[in-house]
Structure 1
């Protein structure tokens, strides 16, 4: 029985499967490239400007814990079932079929918007060297084109032969190896920045010595943003969500992993690694950048950042600091020889320039530009795989023209690449061009980044909440029938493992479930419905100037998704998934098992028979082989 958009029992037999060739390091680096871009630097600087270093650290630590809690549940389920679009499928099986459609659209929407946000950020980074509209326009044109060709990764240009099995394999693996290299390079860049920040703080001979320990400044009051420090912290927490978007993107590679042995390490460890990298990197930057620095991004243009760092080391800097002549203020913050002075900077660049290190600021800025490009590449990958999953879940003979159109996104080309889904996921690539219409090129780009990042944040928080809810219902259903979990279903019995003093090794904090999932669900909903609105609470006139824009940024996406959900409920007239008796649970578990396609099965065979068998790797369960006639047998 084929599935449809609202959730049937199986994938459409017409869906074209992706190739399963990703190893653990490719999966890990694709995920790293997706998560770790420059979002934590841009958001960290923005929070620092209005809340001080203490607000930055508190915000990132809290959101990091929420991300860990969300990933603990996701890791357990995705390692058990490495299927296509797992987050959507889990909601479909354990929560609600209509809600699953909403989650799929929300996740695609999140990453399609994030792709545009990263392009906009890249345009802002280039302004360090050239703040002309021409330079910014070139970034908005060339960056999407380069990312598209990397994601498309066809090998036809290198030969005249028609696509065959080997060319499909090479084509598919190309993206994985590009991301493997890119992820390693990105981690090296972060390590380099970390070392530079420590060197600047320690007072090396090639830089001006520091004269203040900025990280000890604690909290900061900015009434133009929030009337109290508590409100500023809530706004900071909401902003800190954006850098953690993608911690769940390991699920998008699950269906393309060689087996669960390759998938388990990235799924289990990614949230902890990202939290550690963020906290260490941010602390090193906060050592060298003060919250009043005038080159930090200003939250919705709500105040004028006019502060200047003070240097104690040189006669020139001291003279400039005491001089009433405004022109001499530029001596306080020497720039790279070709830098402009009216655009915002990223924290590492601010630090290197303020310490008067010739050319280093430009080099760091170039590395961060690469990070933005790499993150945009990965964002398009996740968005296209989500759209592919949506399209492949629809029958191509649906009576609705809209559904038949959506089904086309489930096709792949001769090289195994979901080309239509990639093109469809670039839908918002035009949005950064809107910032070119702003009279002030600097604030126009900053505002566009704020808007796009906020839109993507609220939608992804909704996805996080859906995953926590799916795990809670899955856990409760298993617990209700745990005495029936015997034989081939014994691997689902977590209570036997816990009573024996061990675990199943699917996540690090299995013992804390379901309390971790409850924390993830409640925290996600509080961030979405409470913290996201904190920027609207202040009675300060400047803080309320952008009230309408903020409201649309935070709630337009969730509002449209709510309308979609209500519309589906009215049309379909069905309730939530019933967590019924053992037979219903067993059928659900079997259906999910059947969606796990063995990596050894030839693509052509799967296309013809549509039979899906489990490849369980080392995680228990049964191994399935696919016979030539399409019949699956246990071994």
Structure 2
């Protein structure tokens, strides 16, 4: 549920409308489908390593161990920055969604006091508290994530059903009959009928204009598709969070005398394998769930609203934000715009409440990931006397309170960019437009940062896979008691990902393509500073940090040596020791 709360956020509802306006119905469906397949491919690589080593700062540690130490540190910093800045930009986004109601939009006190101050403080408290109830230890944060995640999935299912009903014109019968029929029975029958015949007898969808695009933003439809894929990536930020939330799992304990057997495996499965099985489902299938939900919801949106609708938002870097034949810039999520046009009383208000709920729950999870990432980066540092001052400061964030909560990392991650939402209080209209563009740059940087982390972990898996393939038959591993290194041993190896190493090469290439090619497609028609900064500034900053770390640490310029069997055995044993310490 932690991973689901972070993944199913505002990306679908807000970014989906942007992609639809930009590239039309076909582009929005393909964007979510293609990026979803890429996210599944990435998680195949991450899941195989994660099922063996669910450790603090896993996504950074894998890169450090199998690629380069300094590159791993830079990956961890990029991951922390992504979710720390997302925490603040989502607060700003939720405030923008509150502006749907004019009474709130005109109140500066509500924005400053409640939206920008009290809500973030409440989220920090939810991330920091843990209590012991009678007989059972329960984490308040975990309970909140389970409840809100369940509500989010149920409400999303309701929205999908409502979109189908709107497309079929079913709600007009409600207005005429004024609920003179049994509502529950009516909803069940109508929904079942609509799901069965929507593709056979649709009345709104015009696929003749499926490749229609915004010519002000892109020179052709293919460029619009690439820009749409880059935008849609934001919706999949979070599918890798299982690497951080795995630390919260209650590891199973199996007695050595017990027998866990099946027709295919008569050997008792060790505790190490059971640990991997605890997180395997989430690591593998949440990306599939997100892809299916996004593609279905995006397709339904194309049935109910035209891409040229004035309510849909455009990409912010266009010099003229107001579309032709429109009186004001589009500023509504696609679902809210559909609800308004349906004429159903208060449906748009309900949809907007759901969007705010989704945004705030996603905000809480982003703070969780940022704090755990910072804790993972700093928990292994020595901060005693004799250490350099900056190491002592960083080591201070790697401590937990008596409830095992990294409260210092939580607070620092929350306040680092807490100033971002307050920028929206600047009163001048022309300045406010520039501020909104700046916030969108920061928001887009989040998806770029995650693409960097995805790509680096695909590279780490490729080197891990090659390393295991070369050394798995050597006696040194068995002589030193290194467990879980034979991918063909299904009784011990928790998860063997599909199509490797070809799938890892595809995932790494896909991340590189989205970073360099798709990220720059917005510049093909004309030069603009905003998309350039949003797409390439995080990449340049990442490699600049890597070079700076190399110089500061006086580290050799090269990848870690994986050719020596003894060194590799020591490396794998160290990862297993970290996992064992985490379990304790």
Q: TM-score range by the shorter chain?
A: 0.7 to 0.9
Q: Map 1:29-48; keep pairs closer than 5 Å.
A: 29-48=1-20
Indicate the residue corresponding to 1:255 in structure 2.
247
- Counterpart of 2:121 (choices 127, 141, 145) is 145
Mapped to 1, the partners of 2:161 and 2:433 lie a distance apart of 31
Indicate the residue corresponding to 2:464 in structure 1.
474
Matched positions, count: 521
Residues 133 and 436, structure 1, Cα contact 8 Å, conserved in 2: no
Q: Give the TM-score normalised by the residue count of structure 1.
A: 0.77
Change (3 A) 1:348 1:446: farther
Q: Alpha-carbon deviation of 1:448?
A: 4.7
Change (3 A) 1:371 1:217: same
Change (3 A) 1:91 1:465: same
Indicate the residue corresponding to 2:536 in structure 1.
555
Mapped to 2, the partners of 1:343 and 1:231 lie a distance apart of 22
1:357 aligns with 2:344: yes
Mapped to 2, the partners of 1:504 and 1:216 lie a distance apart of 50
Change (3 A) 1:262 1:445: farther
Indicate the residue corresponding to 2:217 in structure 1.
225
1:494 aligns with 2:494: no
Mapped to 2, the partners of 1:425 and 1:182 lie a distance apart of 22
Q: Map 1:471-620; keep pairs closer than 5 Å.
A: 471-484=461-474, 486=478, 488-489=481-482, 491-495=484-488, 504=493, 506=495, 510-539=497-526, 544=527, 547-571=528-552, 572-574=554-556, 575-597=558-580, 601=584
Q: Alpha-carbon deviation of 1:600?
A: 6.6
Mapped to 2, the partners of 1:361 and 1:442 lie a distance apart of 26
1:83 aligns with 2:28: no
Change (3 A) 1:598 1:167: farther
Mapped to 1, the partners of 2:21 and 2:508 lie a distance apart of 30
Indicate the residue corresponding to 2:446 in structure 1.
456
Residues 96 and 577, structure 1, Cα contact 8 Å, conserved in 2: yes
1:279-331 CA distance string (max 9 Å, x none): 112212221121111111110152444478xxxxxxxxxxxxxxxxx9xx9xx
Mapped to 2, the partners of 1:436 and 1:592 lie a distance apart of 48
Change (3 A) 1:248 1:168: farther
Residues 84 and 255, structure 1, Cα contact 8 Å, conserved in 2: yes
1:425 aligns with 2:391: no
Indicate the residue corresponding to 1:387 in structure 2.
374
Indicate the residue corresponding to 1:298 in structure 2.
314
Residues 46 and 299, structure 1, Cα contact 8 Å, conserved in 2: yes
Deviates more, 1:243-252 or 1:40-49: 40-49
Q: For 1:570, what is the secondary structure of its paired residue? A: helix
Q: For 1:40, what is the secondary structure of its paired residue? A: helix
Where does the alignment leave 5 or more consecutive residues of structure 2 unmatched? Answer: 177-201, 252-274
Residues 95 and 577, structure 1, Cα contact 8 Å, conserved in 2: yes
- Counterpart of 1:434 (choices 418, 423, 426) is 423
Mapped to 2, the partners of 1:560 and 1:219 lie a distance apart of 36
Change (3 A) 1:216 1:362: farther
Q: For 2:304, what is the secondary structure of its paired residue? A: coil
Indicate the residue corresponding to 1:626 in structure 2.
none
Q: Alpha carbon RMSD of aligned pairs, Å?
A: 2.6
- Structure with the larger RCO, 1 or 2 (CA within 8 Å, 6+ apart): 2
1:338-380 CA distance string (max 9 Å, x none): xxx8761111111111010111110111011000000000000
Residues 168 and 415, structure 1, Cα contact 8 Å, conserved in 2: no
Q: For 1:191, what is the secondary structure of its paired residue? A: helix
Q: For 1:287, what is the secondary structure of its paired residue? A: helix
Q: Alpha-carbon deviation of 1:104?
A: 0.7
Mapped to 2, the partners of 1:343 and 1:361 lie a distance apart of 15
